Amino acid sequence: MYERRRRRESFFDRILNYFAEIGEEIDELVESMFEAVSFSRPDWDADACCLEPLVHVESTPESVVVTADLPYVENKNDIKINATEDTLEFTADMKREVRFERWGTVQREAAFRRYRKLIKLPEKVVPQEAKATFKNGILQIILPKKFKATPIEVE
């Protein structure tokens, strides 16, 4: 009796694991679909006067390094950065408004005053130990990884 229940449990466990795996695959698929969709949307928001800057995310053995090109940003005090274990968000105010006139099909004007970017980090980081620098218009944020590699000795 006991043996049968255990076998039945393990059978249900397998079914549950199977569905959990399918669930993860669906999550990944949906996530990649959203990434594809987000790529096709404009990287500006005229109502919020915001532009998305060019960013680059790189993973080194020790940390995740994020850089962003921020033309028209002059002072490091105009940059606000927030990070969690998985995400990085920053805004940066431009020293002056950048206007685009007679743009698009409705002869619209757009003015941008700041950059805003939300990045999903490729690995978990320790936000409290992150460091940021701003030089020559390039913002660099170094976020140490939460899980660091363990060295293995060759026998």
Partner 1 sequence: MERKLVSIVETGEVEVKHPKIIIGLPDVGLVGVILANHMVQTMDMKEVGHMESDLFPPLMILHRGKPHHPFRLYRKDDLILFVSEIAVPPIAIYDTAREICEWARNKSASLILPIGGTPIPNRMMIDKPKVFAIPVGDEVRKIVEKFGIDVFEEGMIVGPYARIIAECEKYSLPCLTLLSQSYPNYPDPGAAAATAEVLSKVINVEIDVVPLEEQAEEIRLRMKDLMKRTMLEMERMGKSQEYELPAMYS
Contacts with partner 1, residue ranges (CB under 8 A): 43, 51, 53-54, 56, 67, 69, 71-72, 98, 135-138, 140
d(CA 131, CA 141): 6
For partner 1, give the closer residue by CB, 72 or 83: 72
For partner 1, give the closer residue by CB, 128 or 136: 136
Tell the smallest beta-carbon distance from residue 72 to partner 1 (Å).
5
Number of other CB atoms surrounding residue 69 within 10 Å: 14
For partner 1, give the closer residue by CB, 43 or 85: 43
Strand order in the sheet with 131-135: 54-59, 63-69, 138-144, 131-135
Tell the smallest beta-carbon distance from residue 95 to partner 1 (Å).
9
For partner 1, give the closer residue by CB, 97 or 129: 97
Tell the smallest beta-carbon distance from residue 51 to partner 1 (Å).
8
Nearest Cα to 91, choosing from 83, 102, 79, 101? 79
At 96, which helix (H) or strand (E)? strand 87-103
SS3 82: strand
